[in-house]
């Protein structure tokens, strides 16, 4: 009985790993439009602290080759250290339309949505791009998104992203996770029609979102990017993956921070799609080695190693290239151990801390403020 079960599980894991790699390949190798009118875009950058390499990240947006765009930076704290960095970069690019909006927030429980809600009314253009501050983009990025939105008329255009700048053990594991499990987990469902939106890059029509309820639909959920994507999808508008891969800077990330980040993402998946989370070990070759040993013996280790290489090294080559390819080669197995630890911890967690605030996480990732403690 164990041998047929082991073979079945191994077959499913092999199929998922190969299909995920193929989805990433198709997403990143598709042809993007190169010429044509590019509609104007308002880029919304919610700020919260000075991220690693923030100056370089922001400067990459001042260097975009799009002919008509504006940059809007939002903060709810006038003493946020990111504001001084923005001002310093903006002084070097006086020709780029740029505004800094410091506001008190609009009362949303989700800190990012609260910031965006105060920032969005200042946008001049209908086409808006939400972009996180720890993202770095090539010069053609904005033009590509605008052209894709004009030509293919999706609800939202988004991107895959890969780690960069890793200089710590936690940052290296994070980059391996992004290039392997995360990339396949976004690309495969999206190409199959169940679009998953990556909140680090989301371009959409502001008027279209207003017709669907606006940002208020996202105000009290932690998975605001998932809900935003599904809001458009339920209205019959698809989520489209652009071929350009963005850089998510992981410099200075500790192992503790990396674990907490992926635990938070796992808690989101648990409350959005609990059955998928239960089946998640099927995407982890290392988790099946004990069972598969019954069918293959020591060959089970070779099978697991081959799939880890396909997923992590293969994903790295597609998203990053040959730069530091030894990282996924050496850390793929450790990444799977970390993923198992996250998976085992997820059912035990009810509270999440994010951007300095603590919440109880409910079904659908609804946020409930933690009651104040009184003596």
Say yes or no: 264 and 321 in one domain.
yes
Number of domains comprising the chain: 2
pLDDT digits (tens, 9 = 90+) for 56-78: 999 999 999 999 999 999 999 99
Question: Contact 61/72 with Cβ under 8 angstroms?
Answer: no
User: For residue 320, what is the enclosing H or E element?
Assistant: none
Task: Choose among 235, 41, 43: nearest CA to 154.
Answer: 235
Whether 324 and 219 share a structural domain? no
Report if residue 187 sits inside a domain.
Answer: yes
Q: Which residues of the chain have pLDDT under 70?
A: 1, 371-375
Asked whether residue 374 is assigned to any structural domain, the reply reads: no
Phi, psi of 287 (to 5 degrees): -70, -25
- Verify that 281 and 357 share a domain, yes or no: yes
Q: For residue 94, is it within any domain?
A: yes
Query: Residue 375: its pLDDT value, please?
Result: 38
CA distances (Å), origin 239, targets 117, 151, 198, 220, 246: 22, 14, 10, 22, 17
Domain-located, residue 375: no
Asked, for residue 31, whether it belongs to a domain, the answer is no
Kindly report the length of the chain.
Answer: 375
CATH number at residue 223: 3.90.550.10
Whole-number average pLDDT of the chain: 91
Is position 30 within any domain? no
pLDDT of amino acid 336: 94
Query: Is residue 29 assigned to a domain?
Result: no
Q: Comparing C-alpha atoms, which of 289, 310, 300 is closest to residue 20?
A: 310
State both tokens at 337.
């151990």
In a domain, 32, yes or no: no
178 and 74 in one domain?
Answer: yes
Whole-angstrom Cα distance, residue 161 to residue 174?
A: 12
The b-or-e profile of 269-279 (16+ CB within 10 A means b, else e) is bbbbeeeebee
Per residue in 157-193, pLDDT (tens digit) is 999 999 999 999 999 999 999 999 999 999 999 988 8
Give dist(CA 101, CA 72) in Å, integer: 7
Cα distance between residue 218 and residue 108, in whole Å: 8
Q: What percent of the chain has pLDDT over 90?
A: 75
Alpha carbon distances (Å) from 167 to 246, 293, 335 = 18, 36, 16
> What does the pLDDT look like over 325-371, one tens digit per residue?
999 999 999 999 999 999 999 999 999 887 777 899 999 999 998 76
- What is the distance, to the nearest Å, from the Cα of residue 33 to the centroid of all Cα atoms in its chain? 24
User: Of the candidates 235, 253, 271, which is a domain's last residue?
Assistant: 253
Residue 336: φ, ψ to 5°: -65, -35
Residue that is last in its domain, among 231, 253, 275? 253
Q: Is 79 left (phi over 0), alpha (psi -120 to 50) or beta?
A: alpha
Contacts of residue 332, defined as CB under 8 A and 6 or more positions apart, other chains included, come to 176, 180, 308, 309, 311, 312, 313
Domain that includes residue 203, residue range? 37-253
| Both tokens assigned to 315 | 């994903």
Prediction pTM value = 0.92
Contacts of 275 by beta carbon, 8 Å cutoff, 6+ apart:
none
> Does one domain contain both 13 and 68?
no
- For residues 212 and 286, state if they share a domain: no
Structure tokens that stand for 142 in this block: 């904005």
One domain for residues 78 and 130: yes
Residue from 180, 161, 162, 164 nearest 335 by CA: 180
Q: Which of 196, 226, 253 is at the close of a domain?
A: 253
């Amino acid at each position: 009985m164990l041998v047929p079960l082991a073979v079945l599980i191994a077959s499913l894991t092999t199929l998922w790993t190969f299909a995920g790699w193929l989805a990433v390949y198709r997403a990143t190798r598709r042809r993007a439009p190169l010429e044509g009118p590019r509609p104007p875009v308002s880029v919304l950058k919610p700020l919260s602290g000075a991220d690693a390499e923030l100056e370089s990240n922001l400067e990459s947006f001042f260097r975009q080759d799009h002919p008509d765009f504006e940059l809007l930076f939002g903060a709810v704290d006038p003493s946020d250290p990111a504001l001084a960095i923005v001002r310093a970069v903006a002084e070097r690019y006086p020709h780029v339309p740029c505004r800094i909006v410091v506001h008190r927030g609009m009362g949303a429980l989700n800190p990012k949505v609260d910031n965006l809600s105060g920032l969005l009314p200042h946008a001049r253009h209908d086409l808006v791009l939400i972009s996180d501050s720890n993202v770095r983009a090539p010069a053609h990025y904005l033009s590509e998104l605008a052209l894709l939105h004009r030509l293919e008329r999706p609800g939202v255009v988004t991107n895959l992203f890969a780690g960069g700048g890793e200089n710590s053990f936690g940052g290296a594991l994070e980059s391996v996770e992004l290039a392997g499990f995360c990339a396949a987990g976004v690309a495969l469902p999206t190409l199959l029609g169940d679009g998953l939106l990556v909140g680090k890059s989301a371009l959409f029509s502001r008027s279209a979102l207003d017709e669907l309820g606006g940002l208020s639909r996202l105000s009290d959920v932690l998975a605001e990017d998932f809900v935003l994507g599904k809001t458009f999808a339920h209205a019959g508008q698809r989520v489209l993956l652009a071929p350009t891969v963005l850089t998510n800077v992981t410099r200075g990330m500790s192992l503790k921070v990396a674990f907490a980040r992926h635990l938070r993402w796992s808690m989101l998946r648990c409350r959005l799609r609990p059955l998928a989370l239960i089946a998640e070990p099927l995407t982890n070759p290392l988790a099946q080695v004990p069972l598969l040993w019954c069918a293959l013996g020591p060959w089970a280790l070779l099978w697991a190693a081959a799939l880890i290489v396909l997923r992590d090294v293969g994903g790295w080559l597609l998203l990053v290239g040959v730069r530091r390819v030894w990282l996924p080669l050496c850390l793929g197995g450790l990444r799977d151990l970390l993923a198992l630890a996250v998976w085992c911890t997820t059912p035990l967690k009810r509270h999440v801390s994010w951007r300095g605030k603590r919440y109880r996480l409910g079904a659908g990732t609804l946020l409930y403020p933690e009651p104040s403690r009184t003596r």
